[in-house]
Structure 1
Amino acid sequence: MTTDNELKEEQKGPDAQTAGADKTEAEKAQELIAAVHYNGMTALKMEFGDEQVEGQVMNHEAYGPIFTYMVKSAEGKPYVSGFFLREMIAGFQTKQDPSQWMSSFFVDLMKSPEGRLLPMPPQSEDEAKALIDKIIVPHCVKSVREEFAPEPVHADLELHEEHGPVVEAGFPSITEGNNVCAMPLHFLMAHYLLNRDPADLLIQGLYRIREEHGLD
């Protein structure tokens, strides 16, 4: 049986039918970005309502498209968080409930009663160093140790040959195979500036290590 859509495609002729195959990579990328942004808006609106959600896409020089969303509380307080393209795609493909996954970040932010806009990026090297030394690194070290207590966890700032400064965390009790995960400082800072908990990256990596060794 021929559907109405198939008839319409036949009436367009061969040139129109192959036009989709002639899209440039840039056009395909823009369509993907638009679809991901729409899915993110839809997922958050399912949890918070149509009137409470706004979103935009910005392009980061190093990380590519970043999707930022604002959710307003019932009192009108704004809460903003951001997501990377790769993790958005993975979230919608692998999470059992993508809307719950996305909304969970905002539920955590909403524990702050006054709202949470995105932090101001550091304006100088001194400000960036202070943010790293006084906030990001101490927070990551404290969080991973608390997450796995009373299991001893090594966590500190290290210098990686390929990736430069990293926060490294690992289990001294694991003496064979991989026992360490490390995250570049610039990536941890990017998460912090998107109102995301940078320690989550290390915690997820450490759980994967434990799983590889059959400890969880």
Structure 2
Amino acid sequence: MRTYTPRSPRLLVLSTVMLAVVGIALLGVPHGQEPPAAATATASRATTDPASAAAVTPARQPIADTAPSTMPTASPPSVPESALPPHGEGVAGDRAVQQNLEAAWPADLPAADEKQLLTAGRALLRADATGIVRARWPTVFPDSGGSVAPAFATTRFRIQAAIARRDGSPDKAVVHLVWAGTDRGGTFTDLRITDWHFTRTTKKGAATWTPQPRI
């Protein structure tokens, strides 16, 4: 017959104390302090993998081109004052004015168009300055039906130079004129400048240049 031997009370007390210590230690750890294993692995991989870092780094934007435009304008360049003949030189200086205009603004129209435009531009300027035959262009000179005192004397009016060039479009042109004249007060002035603008229109299959009213 087996005899039962009771366990040592000291061993039971020691076991109870150890369990209590372990329980207290577990309760002292804040909830969620330990990061999940999956999240830790992802963060580690993101900091060590160059491909992952590049995926979250915004791409560098290209620098916008802010260079100013250098396209030429349709207006004629200014002729240097030193290249023009002295004021009051008369007809002898007109050739120099014409040459300087042509050199500053090279031809860009067909010869037939240029000839038509120059003829019309000279006639318009003469009508505007002297008041003669304004009725030929009623849309350009709305007051042509009445009596208009000429601003310049017919006998002292002279066109010194003239060129016809495109005005920003194949269907637009400008006639640039330099002229001299004596006004009603008797004052003579040369190297005056006047521009007449034209648009190309087609009537019955034929193209013609129509002058535009001056603004």
- The answer, yes or no, to whether TM exceeds 0.5 is no
TM interval, short-chain normalised = under 0.3
- The alignment's TM-score, normalised by the length of structure 2, stands at 0.26
Larger radius of gyration: 2
The answer to which structure has the higher helix fraction is 1
- The alignment's TM-score, normalised by the length of structure 1, stands at 0.26
